[in-house]
Amino acid sequence: MRPENYSSLKSASKVSFAKGTDSEGNEIINLTEKRYDSSTGVAASDSVREVRVGDYESEKVRYEAEKSRAEARIAGLTAIISDINAL
């Protein structure tokens, strides 16, 4: 699942998170995604996989760092454009 699609998939009841336990009794979080046959549109077996909030937190931090670098580049380009237009 692509994070940018999460809200619309959640609204359409195509993805959900649920707490559960593993075989050793440890608490886990499962992500369930509805699946469909792309050629017929018939529902297929749901995809269920264990997820960790830490993985999502790490990904968010990585994207925030990329965003900061992009904003710095934009500021630099804006200054260059401004200086060139001032000539």
Residues 76-86 pLDDT 10s: 999 999 999 99
Same domain, 47 and 77: no
Structural domain containing residue 27: 1-51
Rounded to whole angstroms, how far apart are CA atoms 55 and 31?
13
Mean pLDDT throughout 43-66? 96
Q: What local confidence, expressed as pLDDT, does residue 38 receive?
A: 86
**Mean pLDDT (the chain, rounded):** 95
Residues 3-33 pLDDT 10s: 999 999 999 999 999 999 989 999 999 999 9
How far, in Å, are 1, 32, 70, 77, 80 from residue 40 at the CA level?
A: 21, 21, 42, 49, 53
Same domain, 17 and 1: yes
Query: What is the token pair recorded at 58?
Result: 């790490």
Provide the domain count of the chain: 2
Rounded to whole angstroms, how far apart are CA atoms 14 and 5?
11
Mean pLDDT throughout 58-67? 97
**pLDDT over 90 (residue 41):** no
Rounded to whole angstroms, how far apart are CA atoms 13 and 46?
12
Same domain, 10 and 42: yes
